[in-house]
Amino acid sequence: MIAIADKRVVLVVDDERGPRESLRFLLKDEYAVICADNVDSGLDILKREHPDLVIMDIRMPGKTGIQGLRELRAIDALTSVVMLTGFGALETAQEALRLGANDYISKPFDTTEMLNMVSRFTLRSRMEHKRVRMLRELQDMNSKLTEDLATKDRLATLGQSSAEFVHDLRNPLMIVMGYINLLDQQLVKSQGMFGEQLGEAADYLEVIEKNMRRCHELIQMWQQADGAELSQLKPIAVAHIIDDLVMSVEPLVSAVDVEIEYQVDDGGAVVLGSRAQLVRAIHNIISNAIDAVDRGHGNIVLACHRRDAAIEFRVSDNGCGMPPDVLARIFEPYFTTKPKGKGTGLGTVIAKRIVEEHSGFIEVKSTIGQGTSVSILLPITTAPAAD
C-alpha cells in the first residue's frame, strides 16, 4: 500500500455519480482521488489541491467540460487533463485536444486503458512541474548573480573567484546535459507509450535536480568569498561523499567511453568538513583523469581506504602521464597543458586549497606513458556523522 503523502492526486469532474465512483474505486489503492460533480467545484479543488491529473466529462449541465477546460487552462497550463466522452461526441473530444486537453477516453472506459492513461499523465504532470521549477530556479540564480556583479565593488578579487566559479559550474552542468541526453533517448525508445521505462526517466530528473542544487551551493560559496567562512564544517560520513561522486561521475565516463572502477573500504569513517566542498575537490581530480585517458581504452580507479587516523581517496588513471617539469607546475594557477578552451588550469588548484582547508594533504605521482595517481588524505574524526 502506498502512503497517502506519496500518492499522486487525481481530480474527477463528472455530474454522474456512477462514473465518479467507478473511477474512485479503480484508482483508490494507488492514487488519492478527489471528486466534484460540476465544473466550478472542480476548479476550486484544482486551485486548492493542485492535482497531478484532471479527468473531466465533456457533457455536463451548466458549464460543460469544454468550458471548464478553457477556464482550467487559464489557471494551470501544465497539469494533465483527460476528457471523458460519450458515444457520438468525437468532434467535441477533438476540439478539447485543440483547447489543451492531453487525451480523451470514451465511456464506458476500458479499465486497463484507463489505468495506463492515469499512470502516464500523472507522471507527465509531475515531470512538467519539476522542469518548470528547475527553470525558475536557474532564472533566479542568474538574476541574483547579475545583481551581485552590478552592486558589489570587489573587482580586485573577482578575477580568480569568477574563473573558479565558472570552472566548478561546468562539471555539474555537464552532468545535467548527460542525463538530459539519457532522458531524451529513453523517451524516444518509449515512442510515446510510457510504461515501466518512464520510471527510469523520472530517476534521471531526480539526478538533474540534485545537480541543480549543487550549482546553487557553489553559487552560495562564491557569493561568500569576500572573507567570510565558506562553509560550516560538520561531521560527514565518507560513504556519503562516495555516493555523491558515483552519481556525478557515471554519466561523464559513459559519455566518453571510459571505464571507472570503485574500490571502497572506508570502514564507516567520518571526516570533519563540507560535503559539497570535498565532492567538488575530488570531482575536479576525476575530471582531469577523464581528460587524460584515451577514449575506449581509458581506465580510472577511485579507491578509498583507511590509513591509520586518516582516510585516503586515491584517483588513478592509465592515461598519458606527465613529465617532471609539468608535474612541478600542476598547482600553479592557470597553468594547463590542455588545448585552448578545454581547461582553465584551476582544477588542481581548487582541490589543493579545499584539502588544506580540511587539514588534509594532497600528493600527485605520474609516469609518462603509464598514468597518474592523486592521493588525498583527510583526518578522521570520532564525532558521529551529521544527518
pTM for the structure as a whole: 0.50
Average pLDDT over residues 320-328: 91
Q: How many other C-beta atoms can be found within 10 angstroms of the C-beta atom of residue 64?
A: 16
pLDDT at 88 over 70: no
Among the ranges given (81-95, 163-177, 330-344), the one the predictor scored with the smallest mean pLDDT? 163-177
Among the ranges given (53-57, 123-127, 129-133), the one the predictor scored with the smallest mean pLDDT? 129-133
Q: Cβ(383)–Cβ(272) under 8 Å?
A: yes
Average pLDDT over residues 298-313: 93
Domain boundaries, the chain: 7-118, 152-223, 234-379
pLDDT at 304 over 70: yes
pLDDT of 213: 65
Top pLDDT among 323 and 252 is at 323
pLDDT tens for 160-202 read 555 566 566 666 666 766 666 666 666 656 555 555 555 566 6
Computed over its alpha carbons, how large is the radius of gyration of the chain? 27
**pLDDT-above-90 percentage for the chain:** 42
pLDDT of 108: 85
Question: Which strands make up the sheet holding 310-317, listed edge to edge?
Answer: 259-265, 299-307, 310-317, 371-379, 361-367
pLDDT at 364 over 90: yes
pLDDT of 156: 46
Determine whether domain 234-379 maps to CATH 2.160.10.10: no
Give the integer Cα–Cα distance in Å for 199 and 235: 34
Average pLDDT over residues 224-242: 71
pLDDT at 312 over 90: yes
Please name the fold of domain 7-118. Answer: Rossmann fold (3.40.50)
pLDDT-derived band at 270, boundaries 50, 70, 90 = very high
pLDDT of 210: 67
Give the integer Cα–Cα distance in Å for 164 and 157: 11
pLDDT of 264: 92
Average pLDDT over residues 301-328: 93
pLDDT of 180: 63
pLDDT at 87 over 60: no
pLDDT at 280 over 60: yes
pLDDT of 135: 72
pLDDT of 167: 60
Nearest Cα residue to 42 out of 69, 11, 16, 5: 11
pLDDT of 248: 80
Average pLDDT of the chain, as a whole number:
81
Letter string b/e over residues 291-303, b meaning 16 or more CB atoms within 10 A of that residue's CB: bbbeeeebbbbbb
Residue 346, CA atoms < 13 Å, CB-side half-sphere: 17
pLDDT of 214: 67
Give the integer Cα–Cα distance in Å for 274 and 284: 16
